[in-house]
Structure 1
């Protein structure tokens, strides 16, 4: 056979060769290509493919979960899918871990118990409540009773995150029906090195719905409220735009705290603060802080 009449059929490649090619794509690409033919489907189910998509230390993360016995021994494709669909509780239920479905990047959520909440252990100011809502990942949340100084801080080791990945941290919360003190009230959020240095600070609003209702109020000496009026403050770094809460599929709300890159050296501190003197507030329910890859708009 000469080069002129030679033909090449991709399906003639050994399955392990096709699997190696698939492992250089993405989880989404593998799923799409697996529908092309039985050859691609068989190669796409290979552990050699999904081993490339799972974090290198996935086994050491799994054993920190009470569900480890149900996960160990699963085919790697099934394990990947399970970790994308069903976040697992690790470190005695204080954190939640899962994988981003499209990229396989590591995601975490820190429970309210892992956060440093000013006066959080004083029942007069904060109440710790057990919940049985299946939408909640944790069995306990913190409810604000009444404070004028709100400060919540969380920390995470950047090495625990996927390297060369742009992440964002989100404050996950709700407000009960009797909540007050957050209407039209700016709250400061920030991310920065826990050891000190530049912190990126911005202003957010936790009670955006009531702010919308007040937007068109007029009085003889008052101008209308404007939803996005204001300028973020810069504290040792560049500020960001104003952010308002968003609904989540699990029934909570979230607001973005800030962005950063994973895989770096050091510990990251995430902070939520409202310390306007004499401004009392109540009814905030804290679920935790979620850290996940920042999706492009």
Structure 2
């Protein structure tokens, strides 16, 4: 019986295309004779999302690549801006699923165009041309939406607010509420408060660690509850807080709506710099 390595290159490529990007890379490490097949467009075309040509065509800058493998890892390592810079697109390296980030201009932010409350500015470390900095509000309400047909099907996604803290942040250590849910377009356009959504799917989040030293004066300041979400540092130098998760089946719903609100205590807040909201596949935990 012929060994696997004796099969025609086309057959080897077809077999590897049914595995994973990691498996295709391992094949080269196992046997150098697999390199041509493992690097072929036949393999890496299968790992790319089916609609990647249409998405890449929407890039604000030309996407240059010689092979589909080069395109795959380029999209994993360097997000591209699409739709006139309104959002970014990238891939998860281990499985090629799609990640999108909505820039701050595309978010629904209360008073975002009021100069006394929010300031639009550019930051060299941002992938977008501008971000928005909170100067002073007592009513913090940030939301966004994304069409589910754009996302990878049969996949659990997380939605994350991506932000930085300014030089003198204040009032951000109070607990906020976050929710992610499916919604039709008409439902999204209606102003719906978190209290009207019921308690299902609503999470408590902290943009900064609570200052519990103020607890004796302010009952809102206490140790975070066990299931509260805390901000995490990202590899790109920003921070993120998970707003919630959802399973995208076949993309039948019109939109996923994401929202963060802190409107209960009505204290003044400032020093929050918002880059956008990222929607990406959650890491699969194998038991």
TM-score, length of structure 2 as denominator length: 0.88
- Note if contact 1:169-1:291 (Cα within 8 Å) is conserved in structure 2: yes
Distance in 1, Cα, partners of 2:31 & 2:236? 37
Q: 1:29: which partner in 2?
A: 23
Shift of 1:252: 1.0
Query: Unmatched 5+ residue regions in structure 2?
Result: 188-196
Count of matched residue pairs: 270
- Secondary structure of the residue aligned to 2:160 is strand
Q: Which runs of 5+ in 1 are unaligned?
A: 1-6, 231-240
- Counterpart of 2:139 (choices 143, 149, 165) is 149
The residue that corresponds to 1:282 in the other structure is 270
Query: Higher mean Cα deviation, 102-111 or 172-181?
Result: 172-181
Residue of structure 2 in register with 1:87 after alignment: 79
Partner of 1:273: 261
Asked whether the equivalents of residues 56 and 63 of structure 2 are also in contact (C-alpha less than 8 Å), the reply is no
Specify the alignment match of 2:68 in structure 1: 76
- C-alpha deviation, 1:41, in angstroms: 1.0
Residue 100 of structure 1: aligned partner? 92
Change (3 A) 1:160 1:146: same
Once the two structures are TM-superposed, the CA of residue 34 in structure 1 deviates from its matched residue by 1.5
What displacement does 1:88 show? 0.4
Which entry has the higher C-alpha Rg, 1 or 2? 1
User: 1:81-137, CA deviations, whole angstroms, 9 ceiling, x for partnerless residues?
Assistant: 11111110101111110010000000011110110111111111111012223xx21
Aligned twin of 1:291: 279
* Residue 228 of structure 1, CA deviation: 2.7
Partner of 1:264: 251
1:41-95, Cα deviation, whole Å (9 max, x unpaired)? 1110111111110111111101111223524xx3111111111111101011111
What is the SS of the residue equivalent to 1:97? strand
The Cα shift of 1:277 comes to 4.8
CA distance in structure 1 between the partners assigned to 2:4 and 2:117 by the alignment: 67
Alignment partner of 1:122 is 2:114: yes
